[in-house]
Structure 1
Amino acid sequence: MGDLSGKTALVTGSGRGIGRGIAQRLARDGALVAVHYNTDDAAAKETVASIEAAGGRAFAMGAELGVPGDAAALFAAFDSELAAYGAEPGLDILVNNAATRFSGRIAEATEEEFDRTIAVNVKAPFFLVQHGLRRMRDGGRIINISSAVTRTAYPSSIAYSVSKGGVDTLTLTLAKDLGDRGITVNTLAPGWVETHVTAARTATPEGRAALAACSVFNRIGQPADIADVAAFLASDDSRWITGQRIDVTGGSTL
C-alpha cells in the first residue's frame, strides 16, 4: 500500500467496528488520524490507544451527527484538536463511516425514525464533505461507507437502505465535480461484518453459521477486510479510480 506519512485523515464513527479498523489501518500506513465519536468517548480513546501502542498517531474528537450544525461543529472540533496536537492545518482523507440503522419494514417506520436515519446517514456526510473540502488539499481522498443493501433487497431495513442509496449517488456526483482538483471519491459497500452491530446475530453457533454462509468464503467479514480496501483507496495507488462503488461483501451478493 502507498505511504500515508504526512497525511491527515478523519474517520467518522471510528470508536469501534469498521470505523476503528479503518482508523487503525490508515494510522499504520503513516497518517495522523482524527478518531471521531458521537457519545462514546471511552471507545474512541481505546481506538487512539491501540493506534499509539502500534506506533501510530491519532487523537479523539467528539461531535454529534444528525443535528443542525453538526458538520460545522465537527470541523470546529477537528481544527481545534489538530492545532492542540501540533499538526499543520488541513485534511487529506475523509472517511464518512458513521451511521445509524433503523430496523423495520415500511409499515413499522415512523417519520422520526426515518428523519433520523436520513439526517445521520445522508445529510451529515453531505455537509461534512462541504466543510471538509474547505480544508482538503488537492489530491485528497473521500471514502464513503455504504452497504450491500443498495444492491440487494432487505425489506426489514428499508429506511437504512434508502439512506445508503443516497450515499452511493453522492459518491458518483462528487467524483465528477471534484476531479479537477485531483480528489477521488469512492464508496465501499460491506456486507455482514463482525462488529457490535452483528453481535446479537453472532451470539449463537447457528447465527454465526447463517451469516458466514452468506459469503462464498463461508466466513463473517472482519473490520480489517474493509479497512485494507479503504487503505488502498486512500493511497496514491488508487489515483485512477473515482466514482466507484466497491463491493466488499466477500461475494455475498453473487
Structure 2
Amino acid sequence: MKLLIAEDDISVCEMLRLFFQKEQFDATFVHDGLNAQARLEAEPWDFVILDWMLPGKDGITLCQQIRANADTPVILLTARDEEQDRIRGLEQGADDYVTKPFSPMELIARMKAVLRRYKSSSGGEAGDSEAGAGSSDSDILSYKNIAVNLSTRIVTVGDRTVSNLTPKEFDLFVLFLRYPKRVFTREQLLENIWGYDYIGEERTIDVHIRRLRNKVSSPEYPLIVTVWGVGYKLED
C-alpha cells in the first residue's frame, strides 16, 4: 500500500516509520503542507495521513483538496480534542481522526478499519470498476425518481446525476434506498455501515448525513429526513 504521511514532528515520523515498515507499507513522509500538496498532485496514493496543524498549508485544507478530486482514504492527526473540531474534520471529508498523543497500533487499526470499509463499499478489487459498462438490471436499485447503479456507483435523482459520494455516503444512501420507509437510529446506522470494529461516536452519523443531504437533496426532493428523537429515514 502506497502511503503518504504529512507530519511536521520528526520524532512522530520516525516512530511511525518503524511500525509502517513492519506492516510492509510503502510510506513516504513530508513535513509541511506545501510539500504534501506537491506530492498529492504529482502521483496517486492509496492512503493519506495528514497532521491538522501543518506549516505552509494545514491538513484540513489538504483534505478538502483531496476530496474535491479523489476518494482516497484520509485520516487526520490532531491535538484538538474538542467535539466541534473533530466534526469539522469529518465534514471536510476525513474518514477518521486520531487525537494526539496516540499509539501507532491504534493508528494502524483505524487505517485497516477504513480500508475494510472502502473495500466493502467498492464491492471488490479496484480493478473491477470497468465491469459497470455491462451492468445488468440486478445492478440497478431504484425507488420512485431515484436510481443507483451498484456497479458504477452513480446515483441519479430525477434528471440529476450524483457521482461524488464517498464510500460511506454511498453505502448510507443505498441502505436508505433499500428500506425507504424504515427509520434508522444512529446506533443502527453505525452498526450497518461502520460495523462493530468502528471506533467512533454517534455524532459521526450526523456529520455524514448532513454531507449526504447536501449532495443528493434539492428543494423539490429533500430525500433524507430527520425523525426527531429517533433517527433518519428516506422520505416516502
Answer with 1 or 2: which has the greater Rg: 2
TM-score, L = length of structure 1: 0.35
Higher relative contact order (CA 8 A, sep 6+): 1
TM-score, length-scaled by structure 2: 0.37
